[in-house]
């Protein structure tokens, strides 16, 4: 409306009409923000920019994309409503087709030329007005080929030239074609001869100026070689030995006047009994649990099948112990907090600790509270178990001091 319908109005009037749409609290916020200027002194474009900063979306792009990827269909919505919601969120995703283009700097007759890597193109084409002239306008041979773009439009080839080209350590000879294309295209033949297919993920997505030879040296080592090298350099990190966090131990605080709760064991299905016994033997051998003969406290167990097919033994402390404990107070990170720390990052990975909670030690006085009643008798946990309400804050408190090391 302000760009078209109010185009004939002077700037001061357009600013006044724009600010008239604000409610009293929003207008006061705007006026205080632009001080020492007054609303009459701010130009229309500047007012628009300021209002976007104040009242526009406050989420980072990373967070916006995360929310979009977490979309699920509400049972009460029909598919048309759901599709509209998906379209709305995807519009905020800020992704376009150019983001997935890849560029490489190839030396053609010792002259570095920036090419867009196009594996769908059969020909390697250079742009006449810039590239061909930059190379000194070498003599061209007539080409009898008829070329078409992806959209089916005819591409007028001005000629061809056999030349030597190289990328990193690879060198080959082939035909380069000259045309009035918008950019230089690196075709399939050259891509194959120089081994660029294996480096696609390492190539820069911005044109030009980024030397792909730098990235190519990274890709010389295959992922298997890198993994083997890391295993040699850090054998303790890849050891099968179960880990133990030695910096601190977890301490449980029962509520004043809390009465012990002893729950009976639960039956284990016969079909799963062998696998459950095997898991008990493993946990006992690595010191996670210990056999005991007596306890005032006891919780039953539940068996959870993990995604890799193995079993996890969890104590169901919700049957009594959790209500009798004071919650260990330590803030847990919100998704927004985690996303904010990742915003602007370029390389991402994740660390999956094996039986993470069980790597935290529990002090001697608290262990008697962590007793489980099983088909094999009573066991007590020596490590922080799953299902105990203070386990997440305990673990997060232990992990947080080491997090900056991984962010660097």
Q: Which domain holds residue 33?
A: 11-55
* Same-domain status, 76 and 113: no
Average pLDDT over residues 148-175: 84
In a domain, 1, yes or no: no
CATH number, domain with residue 159: 2.40.70.10
State the DSSP H helix or E strand holding residue 160, giving kind and residue range, or none if neither.
strand 157-167
Looking at the fold, whether 249 and 372 belong to one and the same domain comes out as yes
Calculate Rg over the CA atoms of the chain.
Answer: 33
Measured CA to CA, the distance from residue 288 to residue 243 in angstroms comes to 11
In a domain, 397, yes or no: yes
**308 vs 175, higher pLDDT:** 175
Q: What is the DSSP string of 8-49?
A: TS-HHHHHHHHHHTS-HHHHHHHHHHHTTS-GGGS-HHHHHH
> Is the pLDDT at 299 greater than 90, yes or no?
yes
Are the C-beta atoms of 294 and 260 separated by less than 8 Å?
A: no
The closest alpha carbon to 63, from 268, 345, 301, 327, belongs to 345
pLDDT band at 213; cut points 50, 70, 90: very low
C-alpha to C-alpha distance for 14 and 6, rounded to whole angstroms: 7
For 106, the token pair is: 């190839």
Are residues 49 and 76 located together in one domain of the fold? no
Q: Residue 229: pLDDT above 80?
A: no
The answer to whether residue 234 sits within a structural domain is no
Residue 188 lies in a domain: yes
Contact at 8 Å (CB) between 94 and 66? no
**264 and 194 part of one domain:** no
- Per-residue pLDDT of 121-138, as tens digits, reads 888 888 777 777 777 788
Mean pLDDT of the chain: 81
Q: What span, in angstroms and rounded, lies between the C-alpha atoms of 406 and 96?
A: 31
Looking at the structure, tell me whether residues 260 and 195 fall in a common domain.
no
Q: Are 184 and 196 in the same domain? A: yes
pLDDT at 276: 92
Q: What is the pLDDT of residues 390-401, one digit of tens each?
A: 888 888 888 777
Q: Are residues 73 and 133 in the same domain?
A: no
pLDDT in tens, 233-255: 878 777 777 778 888 888 999 99
Q: Is residue 295 part of a domain?
A: yes
Q: Which of 272, 299, 316, 263 is nearest to 380 (CA)?
A: 299
The pTM assigned to this predicted structure is 0.47
């Amino acid at each position: 409306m302000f760009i078209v319908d109010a185009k004939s109005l002077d700037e001061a009037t357009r600013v006044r009409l724009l600010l008239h749409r604000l409610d009293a609290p929003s207008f006061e916020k705007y006026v205080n923000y632009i001080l020492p200027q007054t609303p009459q002194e701010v130009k229309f474009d500047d007012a628009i920019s300021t209002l976007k900063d104040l009242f526009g979306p406050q989420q980072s792009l990373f967070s916006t994309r995360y929310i979009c990827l977490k979309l699920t269909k509400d049972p009460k919505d029909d598919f048309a409503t759901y599709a509209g919601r998906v379209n709305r969120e995807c519009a905020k995703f800020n992704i376009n087709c150019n983001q997935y283009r890849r560029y490489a700097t190839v030396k053609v007759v010792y002259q570095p030329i920036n090419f867009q890597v196009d594996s769908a193109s059969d020909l390697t084409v250079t742009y006449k007005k810039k590239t061909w002239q930059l190379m000194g306008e070498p003599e061209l041979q007539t080409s009898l080929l008829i070329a078409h773009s992806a959209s089916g439009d005819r591409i007028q080839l001005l000629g061809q030239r056999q030349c030597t080209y190289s990328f990193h350590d690879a060198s080959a000879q082939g035909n380069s074609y000259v045309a009035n294309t918008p950019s230089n295209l690196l075709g399939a033949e050259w891509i194959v001869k120089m081994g660029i297919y294996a480096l696609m993920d390492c190539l820069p997505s911005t044109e030009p100026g980024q030397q792909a030879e730098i990235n190519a040296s990274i890709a010389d080592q295959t992922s298997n070689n890198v993994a083997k090298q890391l295993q040699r350099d850090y054998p303790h990190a890849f050891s099968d030995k179960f880990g133990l966090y030695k910096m601190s131990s977890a301490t449980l605080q029962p509520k004043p006047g809390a009465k012990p709760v002893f729950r009976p064991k639960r039956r284990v299905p016969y079909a799963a009994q062998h696998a459950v016994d095997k898991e008990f033997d493993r946990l006992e051998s690595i010191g996670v649990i210990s056999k005991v003969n007596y306890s005032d406290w006891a919780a039953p167990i539940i068996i959870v099948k993990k995604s890799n097919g193995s079993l996890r033994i969890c104590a169901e402390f919700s049957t009594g112990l959790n209500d009798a404990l004071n919650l260990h107070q330590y803030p847990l990170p919100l998704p927004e907090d985690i996303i904010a720390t990742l915003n602007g990052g370029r390389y991402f990975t994740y660390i999956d600790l094996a039986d993470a909670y069980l790597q935290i030690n529990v002090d001697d006085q608290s262990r008697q509270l962590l007793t489980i009643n099983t088909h094999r008798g009573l066991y007590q946990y020596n490590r922080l178990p799953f299902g105990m309400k203070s386990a997440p804050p305990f673990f997060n408190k232990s992990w947080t001091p080491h997090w900056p090391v991984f962010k660097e």
